[in-house]
Amino acid sequence: MAPFLFTPLYRLYRSGIIYLNEDLCIKNVDESVWNYTIGGYQVIDKWLKYRVGYECSRDDLEHLVNICKIIERTIDIQKELDDLYDI
């Protein structure tokens, strides 16, 4: 069985879907996750930008999905903290 490889050709987000190439996308990604920035850089877009045109493995894809989940949880925690200070 051949290893799972994919090559991101572009970084496109539309209606909750991150499109990586013609055959591969990640669904159910909130727009706030896609737009999340650290130090002025859009995290998901920056991660993909460094990988456009390179072969990526299943581990790379799983890593990207985990980054999305971590950002989503981070946004939730930030909202909870904001609510604490709205006393």
Distance CA 61, CA 63 (A): 5
Confidence band of 1 (pLDDT split at 50, 70, 90): very low
Quote the pTM value: 0.86
Question: Within 13 Å of residue 27, how many CA atoms lie on the same side as its CB?
Answer: 2
pLDDT per residue as tens digits for the range 22-75? 888 999 999 999 999 999 999 999 999 888 888 888 999 999 999 999 999 999
Q: What is the pLDDT of residue 38?
A: 96
Diameter over CA atoms, the chain:
58
Q: What is the pLDDT of residue 26?
A: 94
